[in-house]
Amino acid sequence: MSFSHLGLSDKVLAAVAATGYTTPTPIQEQAIPHVLARRDVLGIAQTGTGKTAAFVLPMLTMLEKGRARARMPRTLILEPTRELAAQVKENFDKYGAGQKLNVALLIGGVSFGDQDTKLTRGVDVLIATPGRLLDHTERGGLLLTGVELLVIDEADRMLDMGFIPDIERICKMIPFTRQTLFFTATMPAEIRRITETFLHNPEKIEVSRPATTAVGVSQFQVAVGREPHEKRDVLRRLLRDAKDLQNAIIFCNRKREVALLYKSLQKHGFSVGALHGDMDQSARTAALNQFRNGEIPLLVASDVAARGLDIPAVSHVFNFDVPHHADDYVHRIGRTGRAGRAGTAISIVTPLDQKSMVAIEKLTGQTIPHADGGAAIEPSEGGASEAHSRDTEQPREPRTREGSRGGRKPRRGDRERQRSSGDRDRPSAPQPQQAPAAAFTPPSAPPASRTPSIGRAEAARAPRDAASEPADHSHLPAFLLRPVRARV
């Protein structure tokens, strides 16, 4: 079937033909006729299947008639991130080039004044993130009573980011007679509840089982140790030895880890960019454009880049950190293997990630094979210590036998834990900064200099040699040396 059989207008068909597309994807083929028939639609499809065009093209046909009024948009599209909102606007600009439609983008990081100016002129299509949209409505600069069609895109991502209460507030401002289009890649229980609330007798379109991965993506996992420097060393080897690597997105779980890995790869000579939620909007846009244009082959990103971004030619995806939620894995590897292309997804798995990998395999219904890396991922010459010294920003101080660094005196918490144990000859419980237990050999008999760290009461009860020197209490605070007066 071609686009000409879906009921689209001549202007939209001409714009589609100009882009080179001739055959609609399954989600487009099934959704577009129902959207044009003014039916509510629940679309479930894996990422990279053309969901954006499934609502953009029929909206352009429907908006050819009518005119927008000031501060009262005719249609509203809600997106979870700024990047997705900007990408949808690009689709309207591309397919609606022959139409005189006013499209406004309401996202954070942009001046309120510029956005107010566009709203005052009248908006046919309003694309917004929930937070910035509510800011405008609370200021009185936006009325949603004229919205005829509402699109909630990437609904499962909305749930993850905590936007569901905001969406419920927004839906109360929109007329009950609106048409609603709801698109998601996964269907957790909370999303199912929302669809029953927002949609009225929807047409359910499911072109793939929820939480399935693209067929053309080859998935692997590579086992490493617990230390971060081991993960970085393996990642560099995978990047250097990967076959047919044109570009790659490297996902981390935390924004701080994105910044650290970005600096590490830069230091080792890789051309790389960074993308996470704490960056300025201009920096985020610049990094994404550089990656799309091929100026930088590697992009280290948080999950802000995991949903819906259309970068067709991504050849590899690396999970530097295995995602905590199995649904995020589906979206991450969906950045590669798009539009029928082949792709590769590699997850670097530590012993702490085994539980998450089991959940991912259970969700996707697939067993992810271990990569047959062999020498390609073996530690470099010089061992782990050399890799660690290269990647660590600050050198560590040598440890003393007591497990402290730089000869630090025992903390008050250490003394309290030793005092509660009631056993002077037993070494104190290892703290987070101590060396591994195998490297620590407790002394056969405690020296006299360790007596102060036990506590005054225990020291008084402990046996002493008559010839031993008096204990040194100079390290104790003055208030601990005051005599205790018993109350009668």
Q: Tell which residue, 317, 266, 320, 318, has the closest CA to residue 296.
A: 266
Count the Cβ atoms, other than its own, within 10 Å of residue 393. 8
CA torsion angle 188 194 195 200 (round to 10): 170
Q: Mean of the pLDDT values across residues 160-172?
A: 90
Range of lowest pLDDT (101-115, 325-339, 389-403): 389-403
**Choice between 286 and 309, residue whose per-residue pLDDT is larger:** 286
- Is the pLDDT at 78 greater than 60? The verdict is yes
- Sheet bearing 75-78, strands edge to edge: 103-106, 125-128, 75-78, 149-152, 179-184, 41-44, 203-206
Q: Write down the pLDDT at residue 273.
A: 94
Count the Cβ atoms, other than its own, within 10 Å of residue 406. 9
Q: What is the pLDDT of residues 32-56, one digit of tens each?
A: 999 999 999 999 877 667 889 999 9
Q: Mean of the pLDDT values across residues 309-326?
A: 88
- Is the pLDDT at 453 greater than 50? The verdict is no
Q: Write down the pLDDT at residue 106.
A: 95
Calpha distance 323→325 (Å, rounded): 5
Q: Write down the pLDDT at residue 95.
A: 93
Range of lowest pLDDT (44-53, 56-65, 279-288): 44-53
Count the Cβ atoms, other than its own, within 10 Å of residue 155. 28
Split at pLDDT 50, 70, 90, the class of 448 is very low
Residue 98: Cβ-neighbour burial (10 angstroms; 0-12, 13-18, 19+): middle
The CA–CA distances, whole Å, from 254 to 274, 301, 324, 447 equal 12, 9, 11, 45
- Is the pLDDT at 447 greater than 90? The verdict is no
* Domain at 3-206, CATH class: alpha beta
Terminal CA-CA length for the chain: 97
The answer to whether 319 touches 347, Cβ cutoff 8 Å, is: yes
Split at pLDDT 50, 70, 90, the class of 326 is confident
Calpha distance 21→271 (Å, rounded): 33
Q: Write down the pLDDT at residue 404.
A: 38
Q: Mean of the pLDDT values across residues 111-115?
A: 90
- List the structure tokens of 7: 């009921």
Count the Cβ atoms, other than its own, within 10 Å of residue 11. 16
Q: What are phi and psi of 425, to 5 degrees?
A: -80, -10
Calpha distance 336→345 (Å, rounded): 8
Q: What is the pLDDT of residues 360-376, one digit of tens each?
A: 999 888 899 998 543 34
Q: What CATH topology corresponds to 217-378?
A: Rossmann fold (3.40.50)
The answer to whether 178 touches 149, Cβ cutoff 8 Å, is: yes
Q: What is the pLDDT of residues 230-242, one digit of tens each?
A: 999 999 999 999 8
Residue 476: Cβ-neighbour burial (10 angstroms; 0-12, 13-18, 19+): middle
- Is the pLDDT at 330 greater than 90? The verdict is no
- Is the pLDDT at 73 greater than 50? The verdict is yes
Q: Write down the pLDDT at residue 351.
A: 93
Q: What is the model's pTM?
A: 0.62
Q: Write down the pLDDT at residue 335.
A: 85
Q: CATH 3.40.50.300: which residues of the chain? A: 3-206, 217-378
- Is the pLDDT at 163 greater than 80? The verdict is yes
- Sheet bearing 248-251, strands edge to edge: 217-223, 343-349, 316-319, 248-251, 298-301, 272-275
SS3 assignment for the chain: CCHHHCCCCHHHHHHHHHHCCCCCCHHHHHHHHHHHCCCCEEEECCCCCCHHHHHHHHHHHHCCCCCCECCECCEEEECCCHHHHHHHHHHHHHHCCCCCCCEEEECCCCCHHHHHHHHHHCCCEEEECHHHHHHHHHCCCCCCCCCCEEEECCHHHHHHCCCHHHHHHHHHHCCCCCEEEEEECCCCHHHHHHHHHHCCCCEEEECCCCCCCCCCEEEEEEECCCCHHHHHHHHHHHHHHCCCCCCEEEECCCHHHHHHHHHHHHHCCCCEEEECCCCCHHHHHHHHHHHHCCCCCEEEECHHHCCCCCCCCCCEEEECCCCCCHHHHHHHHCCCCHHHCCEEEEEEECHHHHHHHHHHHHHHCCCCCECCCHHHHCCCCCHHHHHHHHHCCCCCCCECCCCCECCCCCCHHHHHHHHHHCCCCCCCCCCCCCCCHHHCCCCCCCCHHHHHHCCHHHHHHCCCCCCCCCCCCCCCCHHHCCCCCCCC
- Is the pLDDT at 278 greater than 90? The verdict is no
Long-range contacts from 94-102, C-beta under 8 angstroms, 24+ separation: 94/15, 94/19, 95/12, 95/15, 95/16, 95/19, 95/53, 95/56, 95/57, 95/60, 96/15, 96/60, 97/15, 98/11, 98/14, 98/15, 99/11, 99/60, 99/63, 99/64, 101/60, 101/63, 101/125, 102/68
**Choice between 30 and 304, residue whose per-residue pLDDT is larger:** 30
Q: Write down the pLDDT at residue 475.
A: 62
